Amino acid sequence: MSKVLVTGGAGYIGSHILRRLVDDGHAPLVLDDLSNGHREALGAVPLIEGDFGDPVVLDRALGDGTIEFVIHMAAFCEVGASMLEPAEYYRNNLTRSMELLDAARRHGVRGIVFSSSAAVYGEPEQLPLDENHPQNPTNPYGETKLAFERALGWYQQAYGLKFVALRYFNAAGAHPDGSIGEDHAPESHLIPRLLLNAMRGDEAVPIFGDDYPTRDGTCVRDYVHVMDLAQAHVKAIAAMQAGTVSAEAFNLGNGEGFSVLEVIDAVGAVSGKRPATKRAPRRAGDPASLVAASQRARERLNWNPEHAELHEIVRTAWEWHSNHPRGYS
């Protein structure tokens, strides 16, 4: 058992990681300001409510010296917003994250699992993307993720602080028991927006571009179930404990891409009602296709995704929204 601090643990992905940590015998502690998270998603996991970039708060969270690992989930994550407000993204995702990194070093943390992103690659030169693909982000969000990955590398080299950077592709789905799921305000992710439209007639969901060089003209993305992401974080801690990994980045994806129109079809099949959509211009910084090669994670972390099928991903999300039509409120 390890004591693990999870920044942003009250958020969508963070809450699922907590569930997996507890199930696997770890003792998590959450640091979250609840600006985008939900206390109800934590269960019995203790919470320190505060700013992950505040050295005083960090010293309180890490001060007793028993935290072995940090899972860093707290970040802004909207590509479009990063294009409009790059200063906010650099301040939050990089400047404040460096405060966390220095606090981890001060307090003897053994290793950090970093929530990174496929956005570090930019426009793909070949698909599927593996970890050796050139890293040329097309938006400030991806740039900040890449900058922090590089900082982790230098800190490991200079100070021996281990790290694993997990480059997510598109997180989706919910816990299979329907108890926790995705609840953002406002919601910007495709699958929940489509499900909420089908469920309660929310505003028609925009399709951002239908003239991409893809099989049906809409963007193609690799959707990975949130519980499979959670599994990868626990596997990363185990690998650092065992000494088999000390400084490495891994893609997390299914290796299969689905277009926006194919996701709409899946939502219609699962919910029984085809969601309403509307055409919209392309968003700046959006690549046409992003599909992962995740063999490295399967081999080096012993990661075994259990929920790879699109309809199952959508079904678990539908179960959550059906049980919580107004989210956690």
Please identify every residue annotated as catalytic.
Answer: 141
- Of 229, 223, 251, nearest to 308 by C-alpha is 223
Cβ contact 228:302 at 8 Å: no
Q: What one-character DSSP code corresponds to residue 239?
A: H
Task: In whole angstroms, give the CA distance from residue 251 to residue 138.
Answer: 18
Distance CA 254, CA 127 (A): 13
Count of Cβ atoms closer than 10 Å to residue 320 Cβ: 22
CB-based burial label for 242 (10 Å; 0-12, 13-18, 19+) = exposed
Helix-helix angle 55-62:96-106, to 10 degrees? 40
CB 224 within 8 A of CB 254: yes
CA of residue 230 relative to chain centroid, distance: 9
Q: How far is CA 296 from CA 137, 150, 241, 245, in A?
A: 21, 19, 18, 12
Longest dimension (CA), the chain: 56
| Count of CA atoms in the C-beta half-sphere (13 A) of 255 | 11
The DSSP output letter for 118 is G
The values of phi and psi at residue 290, to 5°, are: -140, 110
For residues 145-158, one letter each, b for 16 or more C-beta atoms within 10 angstroms of the residue's C-beta and e for the rest, the string is: bbbbbebbeebbee
